[in-house]
Chains A and B, each alone.
Chain A
Amino acid sequence: MEVNIINVCKTIGKETILSNVSFKVNQGDIFALVGPNGAGKTTLIRLILNLYNPDSGKITVNNVDVRSKEYDKVRQKIGFLLDNIGLFRDLTAWENLEFFHRIYFPNASKSIRNEKISMLLREFDLYSKKDSNISFFSRGMRQRLALARALVNDPELLILDEPSRGLDLEGQILLRDFILKNAKQGKTVFINSHDLLSLQKLCTKIAFINKGKIYDIGTYEELSKRYSKNIYSIKAKNKDKWLNELKRSTFVKWVHTEFDTVTVCVDNNYNNLPEWLHSRNVQIIELKKVSGDLEDIYQRIIGFSK
């Protein structure tokens, strides 16, 4: 399934949440929307699910306008995990999945329904807890059940809002495998997440959003080329003597210190960092340009703090 967002604007109260947002998610993409809290990520998901109406612009899924009547047919093929998980606390794990299965497939036979639910519960290692009320589940178990629920309707588009929240290491590996497996099957995956390390490994396309605007979009390789050319890694003696001056320098965008290594991002037009260090008699052990990870790119695009 393709998702096409064209010049979408959304205001809630007096606050502009989204301002002329446009991008396209292609069939089979693992697409990540990255940005700080309040950037507009969840609002965008609500617009795709037709929970909110845009003030202007258009959103289509598989070329169907989300505000049209035909969208209900498309919706049958959308699986989602929202910020609030959305499971019914008074029902068991099995009953939760059965409710959603009944919504999507009201005419399914009991055997088909049971087979599907059993399969999903086994896949997410919850079969032994099938008759337990979910109010006794840990956050991680509920998250796994919510992931299982997202697959109840055999979706072609998966929308996942903060899917790694509350998951332990095992759960995160399960989530990663889940996303990759579904993408391999040709499903489109749309993720909102702060887990940049996982996104870097998984995503075919990443968009950075802040204050309701898309700042940049591309594959990790494209973004890395664009934003990592001015990042240096410095190992040098007596860093207390020069580090504070470096941080205060106008050509420095941000500085990150870890043990004896200082990573510094400088302005695009600034090429004199080695000279600057020599002029301060810094005893350099190692100085090299580095290709930044997604966190570095995020800091360059959204977080310009020193």
Chain B
Amino acid sequence: MNPKLHPLLWKELKRQKKSKITPIIQVIAYCYFYIYLKSIFSIEIVLSLIPLMYVLAIQTDVFHYDFTNYIESLLSLPIEIINIIKSKCIFILLKAYVQSIITTLILLIYHVFIEKKDMVFSVKTFLLIIVLPIWQYYFSYFIGLVIWNLKSKIRIIPYLFQIIILLTCILLLSKNMVNILILIMLGLLLPISIGIKKLTETLSKERILKRSI
């Protein structure tokens, strides 16, 4: 293990290494789901949705994991809360994209070799694939701040946010409105940034602790 790896990322990796079964089940279940989705949407759309779906499944666990009896010890360490949230976001994206790559490969094998269909990626789809992870990082960061700052015990918040985004993506992609989706995502970055700034200013260990105990 790289000794320079951020300790919080290291901790998440160690923790996740012990739960191998859940990601495997997730990948299998998602593959079945995407094969079903493929009958409704094009393969390109399905592939671009995969990371968003994984983020939805991973981020609740990762953001809420520390809200138990070790939160006090974690906050007593010489690390900023903001760095805890950032490292969690990075971990969420890393895990989501590793699982996404595996799922994508399985789906591509199925699509090209079993169904014997062609794939045509447009420039727009490529652009979407580039914009999505960047956008998702900021969005996860925002959700992390909401969870840690406002209502730490309400697990439904990230689900609601992420489901709204996912449904919007599905709706726009099904109408082949990739351009509009990209524009909406880029446009949403401004209010998300303002939200991040405001939530960062009010981030307080005292509040987190009182809501966690």
Query: Do the two chains bind?
Result: yes
Which A residues have a C-beta under 8 Å from some C-beta of B? Answer: 12, 46, 49-53, 72-73, 75-76, 80, 82-91, 95, 99-100, 102-104, 106-110, 113, 133
Additional 14 contacts, C-beta under 8 A, given A72-B78, A106-B6, A107-B4 = A46-B72, A46-B209, A51-B75, A75-B78, A76-B78, A84-B69, A84-B72, A85-B70, A86-B70, A89-B68, A90-B14, A90-B18, A99-B11, A110-B3
How many A-B residue pairs lie within 8 Å, measured between CB atoms?
78
Q: Which residues of A contact B74 (CB under 8 A)?
A: 86
A85 close to B205 (CB less than 8 A): no
Q: B115 at interface (Cβ–Cβ under 8 A)? A: no
- Complex contacts, B79 vs chain A, CB 8 Å: 103
Q: Contacts of A90 on B, CB cut-off 8 Å?
A: 14-15, 18
Given that A76-B78, A91-B14, A102-B10 are known contacts, is A86 also in contact with B73, CB under 8 Å in the complex? yes
Q: Which residues of chain B have C-beta atoms less than 8 A from A87's C-beta?
A: 70, 73
The CA-CA distance from A110 to B209 in the complex, in Å, is: 33
User: Is B77 engaged at the interface, CB distance under 8 Å to the other chain?
Assistant: yes
> Is there an interface contact between B7 and A85, defined as CB atoms closer than 8 Å?
no
B4 touches A106 (CB 8 A): yes
**Which residue of the partner chain A has the closest CB to B72?**
A82
Give chain B nearest CB distance to A51 CB in angstroms. 5
B205 near A50 with CB under 8 A, answer yes
**Nearest-Cβ distance from residue A4 to partner chain B, whole angstroms:** 19
Q: Using Cβ atoms and an 8 Å threshold, which residues of chain A touch B205?
A: 50-52
The chain A residue sitting closest to B77, CB to CB, is A103
| B residues in contact (CB < 8 Å) with A | 3-4, 6-7, 10-11, 14-15, 18, 68-70, 72-79, 204-206, 209-210
Q: Please indicate the chain B residues that have their CB under 8 angstroms from the CB of A46 in the complex.
A: 72, 209
How far is it, in angstroms, between the C-alpha of A53 and the C-alpha of B209 when the chains are bound?
A: 12
Check B3 against A53 for contact (C-beta < 8 Å).
Answer: no
Taking a contact as CB atoms under 8 Å apart, the answer to whether A99 and B209 are in contact is no
Alpha-carbon distance A46/B14, docked complex (angstroms): 29
**A112 (CB) vs chain B CBs: closest residue:** B3
Given contacts A52-B209, A72-B78, A90-B18, contact A109 B3 (CB under 8 A): yes
Q: List 7 A-B contacts (CB under 8 A).
A: A46-B209, A82-B76, A85-B73, A86-B74, A99-B7, A99-B10, A106-B7
Q: Does B73 lie within 8 Å of A80, measured CB to CB?
A: yes
Which of B6, B10, B72, B79 counts the most A-chain CB atoms under 10 A from its CB?
Answer: B72
Whether the pair B76, A91 counts as a contact (CB closer than 8 A) is: no
Structural contact, A51 and B3, CB atoms closer than 8 A: no
A89 to B11, CA, bound (A): 12
Closest to B70 in A: A86
Cα-based distance from A102 to B78 in the complex (angstroms): 11
Known contacts A91-B15, A103-B78, A85 near B3 by CB under 8 Å: no
- Once the chains are docked, how many angstroms separate the CA of A87 from the CA of B68? 10
| A88 / chain B contacts, CB cutoff of 8 Å | 11, 15, 70
Q: Which residue of B lies closest to A48 (CB)?
A: B76
Distance (whole angstroms) from the CB of B4 to the closest CB of chain A: 7
B11 touches A91 (CB 8 A): yes
Specify the chain A residue showing the minimal Cβ separation from B209. A51
A residues near B73, Cβ cutoff 8 Å: 80, 82, 84-87
